[in-house]
Structure formats: C-alpha cells, structure tokens
C-alpha cells in the first residue's frame, strides 16, 4: 500500500496539537517550540504534495478511499485537484508565521486578578484548526467534508473567546464581554449555516444514494442520476448558504468584523486568510460540481450579492477608526471579488478567483501581522492614536506600506494579477457587473492610503516617539511574506499552471464555455 500522504498532511498537525496541549503549563516556551516544529513539518509534507501533484494528470490525485460507515455509504475518501493543492500549500505556509507572530500573545496576563491563560492551549488550538482545514480541502466524501467543516468551529470559538486582543480601550471586563459576544456570534452564524447544510447533505444522500463527490458528479455527467429541478435548487441553496456564511458574503458577513476585532492578531489572520477560504473553495468543489444547473440559475443573484460585498465592504473600511476592523471590512470586499470570479462562469474569472484566494491570504497576513506588531507597541487599535511612525520605525512603516499596497492590488504585487483576471473574466460575460466592481479598486486605494497617511506620516505623536522598530522575530515573520507577494506579482505562472487545468474541468462541469470576442483579431 502506498504511503497515505494526504492523511499524513492532515494528521501531523493534529498530533502536534495533542502533543502541544500535553506540555506542562510551566514549560510554555517548550510548547511554542513544539508547535512551531510541527507546523514546519506539515509545511514539508505540503511541499511534497505540491511536488507530487501533476497538473496535467487525473483530476483527483493522491487519492485514498476506505470504508468508514458502511451502513450509510460514508467513506473516508481523499483526493486533491490543483485548487486544493494551492490552498493546502497556502495553509501550511501561513501557520508557522501565525505561530511566530503570536509567540507572546498567550503569555500569562499581568493584571490585578492575574488571570491564567493556557499558553500551550493557544498553540494547540491553532494546530487543530490547521488539521481540520487541510482535511476539508482534501475530502471528496461530502459527509467527511461536512464533519470537519463544522468541527473547526470549536477550536476557533475558543481562540476568539479565550485569547482576546490585549489592545482594548475599555478595560479588561468590557474586553472579556466583547470577546465572548464575538465568539458566540461567530459560532451561531456558522452553526446556523452548517445546520442548513446538514439538511442538504441528507437530502443529497436520499437523492443520490451515497456521499461520494466523484461518483455523484460522474453520475450527473453521464445522465444516470437525474435530479428534479426544484430538488437541485433547494440542495444547492443549502450548501451555498453555509459556504456564504464562511466566505463571508453580504449580508451574512456581520460576524467577521467582531471576530477579527476581538481576536488576537494571529487568530484574526487565521480566520480571514485560512479558515474563510474553505467557504470559497467549497463553492468551486461542491456547488458547481454537484449542482451545475442550479449554480447557473443562481448566478445573477449571487453576482449582485458579491458586487454589494465589494462596494459595501470597501465603503465601511473607509469609515473605520479601528485598524483591525478596517482590515476585516477590506477582506469582505476582497471575498466579494473572489465569489464574483467563481460565478462569472469563465476560465479567467475562476482562475483569478483561485489565485485571489492564495494572494489574499498572503497579502492580508502581511498587512494584518505588521498592524499587530504596531498595535502591540502602542497598546491601541485606534487609527487616531498614531502618527509619524515612519520617522521612528522606518522598517515597520515600510513593510506596512507594502502590505497595504498589496491590499489595493498595486501592479507588481500578487493580488493585482488575480484581481485583473477576475474583472476581465466577469466583464467578458457580465460587463455591467464588471464595470461597477472596478469602483471597489478605487475605494481600496482610498482606505489603504488614508490609513497609511494617518498612522505613519505627519508629526510624531509623543506616545509613539520611543516606538522600537521591527525585531528579528518580527522580521522573520514579515520578510518571507513580502518576498512571496513580490515574486507572485511578477511571476504568477507557478500557481496558475497548477490551478488552470482544475478550473477548466470545473467550468466543464457547469457546461459553460468562455464567451467569444465580438471582434475578431486581425490576421
């Protein structure tokens, strides 16, 4: 039997989570090192998956299949296409930087009542989330996917509610209340979506007789499984609503600013750069493959919702006074672009959307982590409490600027390529939607540059006059992310070569072809 590489890639961080949690509380530094080592080992396995994957080979590769709950036709089935491979690599790449960035975020609090914070628990929960996200990208059994899609909510709930941001303006008691509110809101929104999806999963089993994505998709393609139109649409909506909450798509987005604002900065990055990608990935893998006709039926409404997310998120980002909430609303806008690219039903749009998932993860991680380093120095998330930082901490300001420029999709940085592909792919089929969406780019430039101007330029405020520049550990976190942003900005081919064949197969699932140009090229 060949080595179960996909299982190992998901199980290794799970083992790391158990081992880290078992470290005695008095040896919290050992817990940090152990968690970092397990995350690096997982990255090595993800690289092996990336190397062994053949973009021109079978659709699903490195497959594993074992009987699990035979009475209900549930199997332990794993397999990866180019889209999944790219997102597994993104997840495995970001987790070590998240752990390094949060090195001191779970240290015991020095307060009057000396609240105890289990340092090893913080890092164990991060590794547990990584394991569940990776197996969600690998699962080709719908029931198996659903279990881990829901299970990741539990460690995320404790990360948000139990390890909150220390830079709070309203005291510890109020901060604890707001953390609890954010964690409960996150859990309730996502549980509600998950329960609706569970009903759809059961309905799919009643109709198809099994949970295998590959078997159901094949049966639909060859005509041996014929779903009634209304049945397919209801099942599609059950899946899509759960993914739209996770994504997050307007108007199901309101949990995200609360969660990102109250969580520690590394956990905020984990939410928007890693966990939320499961929602958009699942739209490509499950909605389009299982329910092609319903996907096309719902496309106009979904495009309108995506467009609202783009403009609404950007407008609210412009008006924010809190740095972390600004990045949260900017992410809502960016997820609008991703969903718009998916449902544009063009190869350019879907390639751009997949590339956008990767690039958004890296750019948001870079910007948010530098913002976290800034906030930890000043002890405030309010934009008005900063000014003149570039004069006292030029490296911090420079990295903050690059992260911001990536967020506004400056040419030469990775998000530009993906945003251009999404807009080009959308415009070719839905020109009005594409034109209106470009206003999101203008607003992104506005909120990013105003944020930089108010925090980094102008007179040096007394409170930041003694602010230290980035330290060695912080540079180790930020520098590789910026290097990847620049590399993929000028040479995105390594990622597009992996995802393009999978995108073409997904497009064929919904029986769509790229629109032909209205004007023929000159011969």
Distance separating the N- and C-terminal Cα atoms of the chain? 55
Q: By the 8 A CB rule, do 426 and 441 touch?
A: no
For the question of whether the overall pTM of this predicted structure is more than 0.95, the answer is: no
H/E element holding 79?
strand 74-80
Neighbouring-strand partners of residue 67: 75
Local structure of 126: helix, strand or coil:
helix
d(CA 29, CA 119): 9
Q: Which of 337, 512, 344 is closest to 425 using CA atoms?
A: 344
Tokens of 27: 């040896």
- Model confidence over 380-392: pLDDT tens digits? 888 888 888 888 8
Per-residue confidence band for 260, with pLDDT thresholds at 50, 70 and 90: confident
Q: In the prediction, which pLDDT does 78 show?
A: 92
d(CA 513, CA 163): 48
Helix (H), strand (E), coil (C) string for 270-338: HHHHHHCHHHHHHHHHHHHHHCHHHHHHHHHHHHHHHHHHHHHHHHHHHCCCEHHHHHHHHHHHHHHHH
d(CA 122, CA 35): 10
Give every CB contact of residue 112 below 8 A, 6+ residues apart in sequence: none
d(CA 47, CA 18): 23
Q: By the 8 A CB rule, do 426 and 346 touch?
A: yes
d(CA 262, CA 264): 7
- Model confidence over 316-375: pLDDT tens digits? 999 888 888 999 999 999 999 999 999 998 888 999 999 999 999 999 999 999 998 888
CA distances from 257 to 272, 324, 445 (A): 10, 8, 20
Average pLDDT over residues 185-202: 91
- Model confidence over 142-186: pLDDT tens digits? 999 999 999 999 999 988 887 776 555 555 566 677 888 888 898
H/E element holding 194?
helix 171-208
Q: In the prediction, which pLDDT does 112 show?
A: 43
Instruction: Work out whether the CA dihedral 507, 511, 517, 518 comes out positive or negative.
Output: negative
Average pLDDT over residues 77-86: 92
């Amino acid at each position: 039997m060949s080595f179960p590489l996909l299982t190992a890639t998901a199980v290794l961080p799970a083992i790391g989570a158990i081992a880290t949690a078992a470290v005695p509380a008095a040896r919290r530094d050992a817990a940090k090192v152990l968690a970092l080592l397990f995350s690096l080992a997982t990255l090595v396995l993800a690289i092996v998956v990336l190397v062994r994957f053949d973009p021109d080979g079978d659709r699903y590769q490195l497959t594993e299949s074992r009987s699990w709950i035979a009475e209900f036709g549930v199997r332990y089935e794993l397999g990866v296409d180019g889209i999944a491979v790219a997102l597994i690599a993104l997840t495995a790449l970001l987790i070590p930087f998240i752990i390094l960035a949060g090195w001191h975020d779970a240290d015991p609090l020095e307060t009057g009542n000396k609240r105890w914070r289990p340092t090893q628990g913080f890092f164990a929960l991060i590794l547990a989330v990584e394991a569940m996200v990776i197996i969600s990208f690998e699962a080709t059994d719908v029931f198996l996917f659903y279990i881990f899609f829901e299970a990741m909510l539990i460690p995320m709930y404790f990360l948000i509610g139990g390890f909150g941001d220390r830079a709070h303006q309203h005291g510890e008691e109020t901060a604890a209340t707001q953390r609890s509110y954010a964690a409960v809101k996150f859990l309730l929104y996502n549980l509600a979506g998950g329960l609706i999806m569970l009903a759809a999963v059961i309905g799919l089993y009643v109709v198809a007789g099994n949970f295998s994505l590959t078997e159901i998709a094949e049966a639909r393609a060859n005509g041996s499984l014929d779903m009634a139109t209304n049945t397919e649409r209801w099942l599609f909506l059950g899946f899509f609503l759960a993914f739209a909450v996770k994504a997050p798509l307007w108007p199901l987005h309101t949990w995200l600013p609360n969660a990102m604002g109250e969580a520690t900065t590394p956990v905020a990055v984990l939410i928007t750069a890693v966990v939320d990608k499961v929602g958009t990935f699942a739209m490509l893998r499950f909605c389009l493959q299982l329910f092609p006709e319903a996907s096309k039926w719902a496309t106009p409404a979904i495009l309108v919702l995506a467009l609202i997310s783009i403009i609404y998120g950007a407008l609210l980002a412009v008006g924010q006074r809190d740095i972390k909430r600004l990045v949260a609303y900017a992410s809502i806008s960016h997820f609008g672009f991703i969903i718009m690219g998916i449902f544009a039903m063009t190869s350019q749009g879907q390639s751009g959307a997949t590339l956008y998932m990767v690039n958004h993860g890296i750019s948001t991680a870079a910007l948010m982590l530098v913002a976290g380093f800034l906030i930890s120095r000043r002890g405030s998330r309010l934009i008005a409490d900063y000014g003149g930082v570039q004069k006292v901490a030029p490296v911090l300001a420079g990295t903050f600027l690059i992260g911001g420029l990536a967020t506004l999709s400056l040419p030469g940085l990775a998000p530009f390529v993906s945003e251009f592909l999404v807009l080009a792919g959308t415009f070719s089929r839905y020109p009005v939607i594409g034109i209106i969406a470009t206003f999101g780019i203008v607003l992104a430039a506005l909120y990013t540059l105003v944020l930089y101007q108010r925090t980094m330029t102008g007179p040096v405020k007394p409170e930041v006059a003694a602010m230290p520049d980035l330290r060695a550990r912080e540079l180790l976190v930020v520098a590789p992310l910026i290097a990847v942003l620049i590399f993929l900005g000028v040479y995105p081919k390594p990622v597009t070569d992996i995802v393009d064949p999978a995108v073409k197969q997904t497009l064929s699932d919904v029986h769509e072809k790229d629109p032909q140009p209205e004007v023929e090229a000159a011969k």
